Amino acid sequence: MSRTWALGDIHANATALSAALELIEPGDPLVILGDLLTYGPDPCEVLELVLERVVQGAVLVLGNHDELYLDLLRGETGYRDRLPAWIQASADWTLDRLDPATLRRLPFVREHVASGVLFAHANPWGDWRYLNRDEDHHEAAEVLRRRGLKIGIFGHTHRSRIVELPPGRGLGDGARRELRWRPGEAQDVLLINAGSVGQPRDRAATSTLVELQEDASGIAVRLHEVRYDVGRHLSRLSALPLSTETLDRLASFFHPSPRAP
């Protein structure tokens, strides 16, 4: 029996990351799906926590918000300059507090493949396109099939989801949290979004990470809720020297939508 964990979109929320790491069994493989920084108050703490896990064997996948800071450390501002003003403000504050040596020590990879599973930040194409629409999931599934892979685990949207393909096996609506899966046909593919540890954007504002466990009977997928002191995080966030408009935008993601079940 093997078990693997994946988490991502931490976004400088050390309180949430610490709680997520407590859910992982010692010695279990861990893949970190990128986007360590921006939006949150704890960039240095998050980098130290991630570096500690990498030293212990965790795989670290590059996200767009990781590439952003690597670009800025090289003096490349093109990506930063295309971002909305509130994200620029958060990124500038974050960059001022980073230890460049720590960031450069992190061994980012573009993707990771293990036991027929592809781990990438956004999608199987290697860019930052979102997997949101059903058409995107079908296209991603076809890429996995061509590569001889059965499962893709991603982040980037900040919304957890389990999608079984081909049609007829059921497209996930974001509410499903567990699945027992056994591929029957050559075309069967499973796409999983691990959600976000540090800044969830689903209706319930629920931080998640994914556990994948395989045994003789198939593959069990579970999206675990990360429970932590959100109030503490928001208090630290509100103390940042950023504009009220930016702080309000950053805090807005942590309040469940009235439409949430």
Whole-number pLDDT of residue 182: 81
pTM of the entire predicted model? 0.94
Please say whether the dihedral angle defined by the alpha carbons of residues 43, 9, 255 and 209, taken in this order, is positive or negative. Answer: negative
* Average pLDDT across the chain, whole number: 92
pLDDT of residue 56: 96
For residue 59, which amino acid is it? V
SS3 16: helix
The pLDDT score that the predictor gives to residue 184 is 76
Predicted confidence at residue 187, as pLDDT, reads: 80
pLDDT of residue 154: 98
Question: What secondary structure letter does DSSP report for 106?
Answer: S
CA-CA distance, 173 to 163, in Å (whole number)? 8
**The predicted structure's pLDDT at residue 195:** 97
pLDDT tens, position by position, 70-106: 999 999 999 999 999 999 999 999 999 999 999 999 9
Which pLDDT value is given to residue 178?
Answer: 82
The encoded tokens of residue 65 equal 């918000």
pLDDT at 170: 43
Q: Which of 82, 68, 77, 38 is nearest to 246 (CA)?
A: 38
Q: Under a CB-based contact definition with an 8 Å cutoff, are residues 221 and 162 in contact?
A: yes
- Tokens 């921006």 found at: 38
Q: Could you report the average pLDDT of every consecutive run of 10 residues in the chain (261 residues)?
A: 91 98 95 98 97 97 98 97 98 96 94 96 96 94 95 97 73 65 82 97 94 90 97 97 97 78 38
pLDDT at position 216 is 82
* Per-residue pLDDT, 137: 95
In the DSSP assignment, the letter for residue 180 is E
The order of strands in the sheet holding 117-120 is 111-114, 117-120, 151-154, 189-193, 161-165
- The domains of the chain, with CATH numbers, are 2-225 (3.60.21.10)
